[in-house]
Amino acid sequence: MLDGKRILLIISGGIAAYKALDLIRRLKERGATVRVLLTKGGAQFVTPLSAAALSGEKVYQDLFSLTDESEMGHIRLSREADLVVVAPASADLMARMAGGIADDLAATALLATDKPILLAPAMNVEMWAHPATRANVALLEARGARRVGPGTGDLACGETGPGRMAEPDEILQAIADFFARPTPLRGRRALVTSGPTREAIDPVRYLTNTSSGKQGYAIARALAYLGAETVLVSGPTRCTPPPNVTVQNVTTAEEMLAACEAALPVEVAVCAAAVADWRPTTKPNQKLKKEGAAPVLELQENPDILARLSAAGPKRPPLVIGFAAETENLVENAKAKRTRKGCDWLLANDVSPESGVLGGDCNQIHFLTPQGVEDWPSQSKDAVARTLADRIAAHFEGGA
Ligand code: C5P
């Protein structure tokens, strides 16, 4: 079931390292090729000889080994795999990954790889519960790392609780699930806009809004996960770029429009950005001085990116999806907006301050299509993104 799949298995320090030897055997039995990279700590628990004997391949250990580097540079090592598995993943190695530190071969390969990563953490219960580890794991997952375990039980240190590395069978299952996951949007191109735009008043001041970009980033991530070749055109946000997504950073609405037009043709465009509706008409080269009367800002309308993408023409994406952020008469206003903008689907959400949607993690959507309105339950922005991506995939599978 893993025929021809190439696994780079990184074994870091921890008593659970002995289970990694069993994992190598099972992966090989299922047809995978396994290349092992052993950290200094890992080599305290399993020998390079056992790993080499089981994998049938040379074992890599040293960043500065002349022979290793001339045979297989660390960059190639990090790229010539379909999946990088870290088992056991120690608290220390995950902290170095989170911090972007490259102080040994394992950390360097993990920083240099462009391949998906599966972590099988193993450590003492308090180390697992420590806020530093929690934050590091959350960050690695936000960057796209997958995780299996840890399980709960008796730990080698004599304590009990979560921290046990997942059993080789579970890790094997997680690896199989990764390779078996459906990618119904493979071969399709998607464009997503996200975040606010910033419109300069002078060189140091600007108009913007409170959009965090979270919903658009989640949508880009969900589309890429289903296999779509995804371009995310993002205004200024603090969001982490999703894995396997091409991010085009822009500042103004006009730049966003240009980046979107450059990304065409696409099969689906999702406009989740909170584009500033107006921009100052003039953009002085110097900072406005606080002298005399307060300045009066003259504004002009920005291009409506959703409406432009929805307009008929040879490059119109077959499926254009917009958002409607409303504070009153949500569904009525959204219906009118869908018609006015000319998009196919529209996700309407209540952004009144008491809803907590803007900048928050949850969203309640009314989903408008030509067929009618569906009320989705209140759910996380990630869940909204996955639901939408599934609907997009179903739409195309339906022969569109
Ligand atoms: O008109 P309103 O801003 O409420 O419309 C919201 C929808 O239109 C969102 O999908 C947003 O991304 C899109 N939009 C746009 N360009 C604008 C204004 C809004 O793409 N200038």
* Cβ contact 81:114 at 8 Å: no
Q: Residue 128: its pLDDT value, please?
A: 96
- Kindly report which listed range (7-16, 23-32, 238-247, 304-313) carries the lowest average pLDDT score: 238-247
Which residue's alpha carbon is at the smallest distance from atom 7 of ligand 1? 323
Phi, psi of 8 (to 5 degrees): -100, 115
The predicted-structure confidence for 23-62, as pLDDT tens digits, reads as follows: 999 999 999 999 999 999 999 999 999 999 999 999 999 8
Confidence of residue 307 (pLDDT cuts 50, 70, 90): very high
* Cβ contact 191:266 at 8 Å: yes
Which residue's alpha carbon is at the smallest distance from atom 21 of ligand 1? 304
Which residue's alpha carbon is at the smallest distance from atom 8 of ligand 1? 306
In the chain, the domains with their CATH numbers are 6-180 (3.40.50.1950), 189-397 (3.40.50.10300)
**pLDDT tops 90 at residue 363:** no
**pLDDT tops 80 at residue 101:** yes
* Cβ contact 368:388 at 8 Å: no
User: Which of 157, 260, 271, 362 is the catalytic position?
Assistant: 157
Ligand 1 centroid–CA 188 distance in Å is 24
Ligand 1 centroid–CA 306 distance in Å is 6
The mean per-residue pLDDT over the stretch 239-267 comes to 94
The predicted-structure confidence for 156-179, as pLDDT tens digits, reads as follows: 878 888 899 999 999 999 999 999
**pLDDT tops 80 at residue 197:** yes
Confidence of residue 273 (pLDDT cuts 50, 70, 90): very high
**pLDDT tops 90 at residue 392:** yes
Q: H/E/C letters for each residue in 221-257?
A: HHHHHCCCEEEEEECCCCCCCCCCEEEEECCCHHHHH
The predicted-structure confidence for 276-291, as pLDDT tens digits, reads as follows: 999 999 989 999 998 8
Which atom number of ligand 1 is nearest to the Cα of residue 253?
21
**pLDDT tops 60 at residue 400:** no
Mean pLDDT score across all residues of the chain: 93
Report, in angstroms and rounded to the nearest whole number, the Rg of the chain calculated over CA atoms.
Answer: 25
**pLDDT tops 90 at residue 144:** no
The mean per-residue pLDDT over the stretch 265-274 comes to 98
- Kindly report which listed range (78-82, 141-145, 224-228) carries the lowest average pLDDT score: 141-145
The mean per-residue pLDDT over the stretch 129-147 comes to 91
Half-sphere exposure of 99 (CA within 13 A, CB side): 12
Q: Residue 325: its pLDDT value, please?
A: 87
Can the peptide bond before residue 284 be classed as cis, meaning omega within 30 degrees of 0? no
Ligand 1 centroid–CA 229 distance in Å is 23
Confidence of residue 141 (pLDDT cuts 50, 70, 90): confident
The predicted-structure confidence for 62-94, as pLDDT tens digits, reads as follows: 877 766 776 677 888 888 999 999 999 999 999
> 239 an active-site residue?
no
Q: Residues of the chain with pLDDT > 90: what percent?
A: 76
The mean per-residue pLDDT over the stretch 297-309 comes to 98
Q: Residue 64: its pLDDT value, please?
A: 74
Q: Residue 70: its pLDDT value, please?
A: 67
Q: Say which residue, 1 or 366, is predicted with more confidence.
A: 366
One-letter amino acid for residue 145 of the chain: A
Give residue ranges with CB within 6 A of ligand 1: 193, 253, 271-273, 275, 277, 302, 304-306, 322-325, 337
Would you state the structure tokens that stand for residue 309, as one six-digit string?
């993408």
Can the peptide bond before residue 314 be classed as cis, meaning omega within 30 degrees of 0? no
Q: Say which residue, 138 or 398, is predicted with more confidence.
A: 138
Q: Residues of the chain with pLDDT > 70: what percent?
A: 97
**pLDDT tops 80 at residue 329:** yes
- Kindly report which listed range (147-161, 352-366, 368-382) carries the lowest average pLDDT score: 352-366
Q: Residue 388: its pLDDT value, please?
A: 97
Q: Give the predicted TM-score (pTM) of the model.
A: 0.73
Phi, psi of 160 (to 5 degrees): -125, 145
Ligand 1 centroid–CA 193 distance in Å is 10
